[in-house]
Structure 1
Amino acid sequence: MSDDAAPLSVDTAVYKTLLESTQAIPWRIDWETMCFSYIGPQIERLLGWSQGSWIGIDDWVERMHPEDRERVVGFCVAQSKAGVDHEADYRALKADGSYVWIRDVVHVVRKDDGEVEALIGFMFDISERKKNEEKLLRLQRELEELSYQDGLTGVANRRLLDSILESEWASARRSGQPLSFIMLDIDCFKQYNDHYGHLAGDDCLRRVAHSLGSSIVRPRDLLARFGGEEFALVLPETDLEAACQVAERCRAALSDEAIPHRASDVSHLVTVSMGVATAYPAEGGIPASLIEQADRRLYRAKQSGRDRIVAE
């Protein structure tokens, strides 16, 4: 061995020691043979597979979660062929049959003529990071759900109502189908609060929401709290006659709930007044016009004595 080669051997040994003392797992694949020319011994600690069992790229592919395989392999091969450094996250199979999240950071080594010579990189265990990310995403989903939910009654809030109404209006405009809207108001609710107290009033709102919710049988129908003691229902692909049947079903459900209301001018039980309106968005108009029409009919129902449905 020449004098010049000796320092290089020492440096190589030092680099190897440094690489194998880290948590990251170094590796190298020869592009022509698609075989591992090196993989760090840390791989056995992390995944349980022996260092010598990593022969070729097939070992890497087969030890990847089936749901991640096509996406990751396709991406990495395409990037490598293009000579682009890249990274990929995937679930790696452990020798005991479980999975661990890995991040592979890959550098493409080129020859002097520009052809790919090898891939070198590091595998990192990112399981803890993934757990935290999933927890954060779950919390974000929960917060999003809460942002569309009325805090008192648990039904949809006005924000979601407006969003769904816009969406169903656009759908009905394309399909030519009718869209119906029911606006309802608890009769003499101020008197209820004055007589029973605001905590009882809150419980009354919850019970009304529950009974109305039990009247909805189709997945796309939406019950929402419009505000105060007012609720609304969005009924896609529903004509006026069918919407009135839903309104009658709501009245019957509330009657079965039999919530006492001794201070009511209408009944000894809690009742509601309803305005029902139907539109054909394909003929023009805007969602707000449907709400306004239902609101006007609700007003007439209350002016006419309450505890009734007005649909024209």
Structure 2
Amino acid sequence: MNEDILLTSGMAGAVLDVVHAAVVVMDREGRIVLFNKACQELTGYTVSEVENRYPWDLFILPEETEEVKTVFSKLAAGDFPNNHTNYWLTKSGDRRLVEWSNTALLDDHGAITYVIGTGIDITERSRAERLIETHKIELENLVAERTYKLHKANKKLERMAHKDGLTGIYNRRYCNDTLEREIRRVVRDAKPLSVMLCDVDFFKTYNDTFGHVAGDECLKDIAGIIARTFHRASDMVARYGGEEFIVVLPDISAEEAAVLAENLLEAVWDRNIPNSSSSIADRVTISIGVATIRSDRLFEVASLIRAADQALYEAKNAGRNLVRQRSLNQ
């Protein structure tokens, strides 16, 4: 395209003025030779105010000047088309983010005569995108926070589902699940497994004499004594029903279990919870049935519990505040 045609053609100016995009035409040195209506509306400058001046002297932020000059130099050297985004300063001092698509015009000999920049004001779009991204991050954080809280609540509910509401120790359901796991481990590792069933002696008469509130406090007290006595990570203490408690002791032999059971009897005795309704002592006592098994094949939880229950029955019949024991060989 001939330079005279570009500069003198009213048609070119008219065409550029109806284009919604900002169009700026510069000579090889970077001086502005055409500045369409969209450019004027974007910047607030008139054609006469920008003609023969450099964009970086008028519109470009100081920190972006070198980058824009580099882009222009590449265009003037024949590296076109190219694209870049930068801020333009308006006459009133506002910043507008403009996305540029740049190319060049050549003369009949292939030499670059003009560089043309076509820009779209993406300020509002960019703000909207940033706002969306901010909301997205806030939403992700909110979801993560709610998920974490839900996870904690579920864990709490899970723990509550495993715990006895009165005493705070494990309940019968969790005990049975634990025993199922321990039975598989016993078979796999060929290690002993002992179980204790502990029953509060004369608890019905204790309740009748002192009332249910005192009875509940007594059960909580006994549960605490048992839990403090069996505190290995592998030990499991649970309320098995009413005034009955169970202790699961992995890797504990029959001989060791007998000693531990006697220690528990002594700990309850030493706690000295008054019980004038007892016919064997002036305090609350317990009876304990112990069962121990070592097996190389799977067996039912019920068989181990049944053996401990039979031993407990023997302790009760023998006078209470006693330990009786059974061993299972399978």
TM-score (structure 1 length as normaliser): 0.64
Residue equivalent to 1:211: 225
The Cα offsets for residues 3-62 of structure 1, whole Å up to 9 and x where unpaired, read as 7x945779x84765234225223xxxxxxxxxxxxxxxxxxxx6xxxxxxxxxxxxxxxx
1:245 counterpart residue number: 259
State how far apart, in whole Å, the 2-side matches of 1:236 and 1:139 are: 31
Could you tell me how far apart the structure 1 residues matched to 2:270 and 2:141 are?
53
What secondary structure, in the 3-state scheme, does the structure 2 residue paired with 1:177 have? coil
Which stretch shifts more, 158-167 or 283-292?
A: 283-292
Q: Note the alpha carbon deviations across 1:139-193, whole angstroms, 9 max, x for none.
A: 1111111111111001111111011111111111100001110011000000000
Q: Which amino acid aligns with 2:174?
A: L
Counterpart selection for 1:273 from 287, 296, 310: 287
Q: CA deviation at 1:285?
A: 2.0
Equivalent residue, structure 1, for 2:201: 187
Number of equivalenced pairs? 218
Secondary structure at the aligned position of 2:199 is classed as: strand
Q: Which amino acid aligns with 1:246?
A: L
- Give 1:170's aligned residue: 184
- 2: CA distance, partners of 1:14 / 1:135: 43
Paired residues for 1:1-312 under 5 Å: 6-7=19-20, 13=120, 17-22=124-129, 23-25=131-133, 126-312=140-326
Q: Deviations over 1:180-230 (max 9, x none)?
A: 100110000000000000000000000001111111131101110000000
State whether residues 170 and 281 of structure 1, in contact with CA within 8 Å, keep that contact through their aligned partners in structure 2.
no
Number of the residue aligned with 2:84: none
Contact persistence 1:24–1:125 (CA under 8 A):
no
Q: Could you say what the CA RMSD is over the residues aligned between the two structures, in angstroms?
A: 2.5
Write out per-residue CA displacement over residues 278-300 of structure 1, whole angstroms, 9 at most, x where no aligned residue: 11132442221100100011111
Change (3 A) 1:8 1:290: farther
Partner of 1:40: none
For 1:190, give the aligned amino acid: K
Aligned residues with identical type, % of pairs: 34
Q: Is the contact made by 2:199 and 2:287 (CA closer than 8 Å) also made in structure 1?
A: yes
User: Structure 1 regions of 5+ residues with no counterpart?
Assistant: 26-45, 47-101, 104-122
Shift of the alpha carbon at 1:128?
Answer: 2.5
Please give the secondary structure, in 1, of the residue aligned with 2:151: helix
Contact 1:179 1:278 in 2 (8 A): yes
Residue 291 of structure 1 aligns to which amino acid in structure 2? I
Q: Aligned pair in 2 of structure 1 residues 283, 140: CA closer, same or farther (>3 Å)?
A: closer
Report how far residue 311 of structure 1 moved.
Answer: 0.6
The 2-side partners of 1:14 and 1:160 are apart by: 66
Distance (whole Å) between structure 2 residues aligned to residue 217 and residue 135 of structure 1: 30
Q: 1:136 to 1:305 in 2, by over 3 A?
A: same
| Cα 1:21–1:311 shift into 2, 3 Å | same
User: For the structure 1 residues 124 and 18, does the alpha-carbon distance in structure 2 shift closer, same or farther, using more than 3 Å as the test?
Assistant: farther
Which residue of structure 2 aligns with residue 34 of structure 1?
none
TM-score by length of 2: 0.61
Is the contact made by 2:183 and 2:299 (CA closer than 8 Å) also made in structure 1? no
Give the C-alpha shift of residue 137 in structure 1.
1.4
Which residue in the other structure is 1:90 paired with?
none
**Structure possessing the higher radius of gyration over alpha carbons:** 2
Amino acid at match of 2:215: G
Assess if the C-alpha contact under 8 Å between 1:183 and 1:294 holds in 2.
yes
- Letter of the 1:17 partner, please give it: E
Residue identity opposite 2:322 in structure 1:
R
Residue 254 of structure 1 aligns with an amino acid whose one-letter code is V
Match of 1:214, SS state, is helix
Say whether the 8 Å CA contact 1:179–1:280 is kept in structure 2. yes
- 1: distance between equivalents of 2:218 and 2:139? 53
